[in-house]
A = this chain, B = another copy of it.
């Protein structure tokens, strides 16, 4: 008798709330580091920095209905003219899975460009390759996905090609003859392959962007992963042809000769990450990357297309102090080496430099609720 009374006086959380509380996660994605910076090889600066801090809410909010929101505290919030939402907000979308095979989603999305570097949680990437660093990666639009029984996943997305308007990005006087597109879109096709029980996985994608009237950008990313018990290897190849320079790296250099918006640029990138878990708690890794920047529209026909080669190499160690909890303490060395072509050095007034930094810190997608 008494036990029943006791139970009755306990406020019971309503079932719908229990489902939400069970299925929705609140996460603080954090990477905090003590950085020692050596621009051009000389020690110049030490500081503590919150390299990443992204607040996230995600989960199942109704049977077959999912939600995801992620917002940064490390980027100035500024409402964007194209999609009307803050630049600090990475993700804000709903997803509906009518059955186990199909997904449909809409909102501000992560463009499904593939490659394992891009696909990782940003707190895991100590330094992005140029081709990812200088892209607009969070765009508004819709997506449709299909997963086969053998876990192959196919996705198509239709997105705005950017968050700012054409005129905000380009000085229209600088690109005579180029007209703003009526619908500047990005169309993405992605395949996530899965072979040998997940031992080999792929994230391959092709995207086309309409940057302006009759001006397109084509982007291919081919991500490949081998996951073994004692070894994990990822290799991404990425290539972007840009009729109107969108990464703005080449344009930044051609400004020196009066060309504020370069045309016919090309960016190519190789990226590799190898992980060797030494024990359950200790992981050694190495990231290597090289980015090439080309300008195929040089008015000087004798000049070579390649303007810059940017190398990156990041050896490091990651230690997991907690059992079954995704928090790691890391130490790494980040080296970057920028080599310009003779043409870029003499005509565009660029010069080679070698920067590196040594960091220790912590990384965790902290589950706080």
Contacts and interface: CB of A to CB of B under 8 A. Distances in A.
A94 B106 CA distance: 34
Interface in A292-321: 321
Main DSSP-derived SS at the A contact region:
strand
A136 to B, nearest CB: 13
Given A77-B77, A364-B94, A14 B22 contact: yes
B74 A79 contact: yes
Contacts of A10: 15, 18
A343 to B, nearest CB: 34
Given A49-B140, A74-B86, A140-B32, A57 B182 contact: no
B28 A67 contact: yes
Given A94-B362, A107-B50, A19 B26 contact: no
A160 B45 CA distance: 11
A21 B369 CA distance: 6
Contacts of A77: 73, 76-77
Nearest to A18: B11
Contacts of A96: 321
A195 interface: no
Give the contact-size bracket for chain A.
35 or more
A298 to B, nearest CB: 34
Interface stretch (A58-66, A120-128, A235-243, A247-255): A58-66
A67 B366 contact: yes
Contacts of A82: 47, 49
